[in-house]
Structure 1
Amino acid sequence: MTPKEFPGHLSSLQFDFLRAFRGPAFFLTGGGALIGFYGHQRITRDLDLFTRDEDAFRVGSDVLKDAASRIGGDFEALRTTPYFRRFRVSRAEESTIIDLVLETVRAISEPIALPSYDILIDTPEELAVNKVCALVGRAEPRDLVDLHFLHAQGLNLDNAIIQAKQKDGGVGADTLLMALQGISPEQLDESTTMFMSTLQKKLSLDLLPPE
């Protein structure tokens, strides 16, 4: 999977903002990366821009404000912590949430160039690892939907689970299985429900003691 634009999957405001954001030390991750550039067909209300560069993070608010201005948008700061900043960018009837994050955890695979944009983007492999970590951390249906999409594109889930444990020591077959048990099939479509059932069976087998 190589990144390319999928018009219509992100909103016009989201695409315009990403084109205007001059932050080469930042990389797009999460659902925005999957939806805008890897072909995943769902909507997202937020864009996640991470960096491991403290200097880039320090000036990130100014870069974001400049991007919003150049596309004719309004800019509003919503939340600020030492490692996380949340903003709302609005234009006419559209709005989107932008999260800037100073990432302190080492990547399994480094972000790659995003053609025609002045930012990087996470690889599908890194996105799969992050989705496994997210499932364990918050057990939200959207993370399972995203992981299902990546698996359907040929991503190796066994590798993703192993690598997720390297990134977060709390991740394992047991904690992932527990997280999946917290997601109701009523929250999923039929295809994702079948994917979850298959994954649960596999994880249960992985937890059996060796004969």
Structure 2
Amino acid sequence: MEVLVEFFPLLLKGATVTIQLTVVSAVIALVISFVVGLARLSRYRVVRVLSVIYLEFFRGTSALVQMFFMFYVLPLFGLTLAPFAAGFLACGMNLGSYGSEVVRGAIKSVGKPQREAALSLNYTTFQLYRHVLIPQAIPMMIPPFGNLLIELMKLTAVASLITISDLTFAAQIVRAQTGLTLEPFLLILVVYFLIASVLVGAVDLLAWRIKTKRKLNVRTGN
């Protein structure tokens, strides 16, 4: 136990890096989810085909291999990424491909009468998505996005393999320098669980606030 106390600053720094990597990757994944998800619904065939190629490529290949490719292979073509950049790009682009299906499915689930009503009001395509489809689809996106966020947080653990000093990397250092195995990895299991619990709570709170706001808007007629 005294050994873990001695290495506590290292583990704390690793936890901080894990949280930072999760947050940045989540932002990247969210942007990609909407861009690719909406592209899947485009009226232009070329846009749809490109979005499907992106989706199938990142869903059909390993996130770890994608991370290795960005970190080890891209420098061969003159593009060198820092470990953190390679980590959050790989995690974000991989989970973004799954998130795009969430966006597409939620938007398609909005009732056809809503679309017809918007068209009868001469809404443009942008107005249709901005004022009708996306606002109604977002509440349906929150739960699956929450699940993807937890998966993203767990995926960041593999970033230690490209020398990112995250929580898993810190535990490996403790194990290498002390010979302890149970203690450091049991500790990071607890830390990952606590981080996941906070993320779940934040997603549930967001879902509750959106639901409450929608009910309030219905009552006030907004």
- Does TM, normalized by the shorter one, top 0.5? no
Structure with bigger strand share is 1
* TM-score, normalising length: structure 2: 0.25
Structure with higher Rg: it is: 2
- Specify which structure has the bigger relative contact order, considering alpha-carbon pairs within 8 angstroms and separated by 6 or more residues: 2
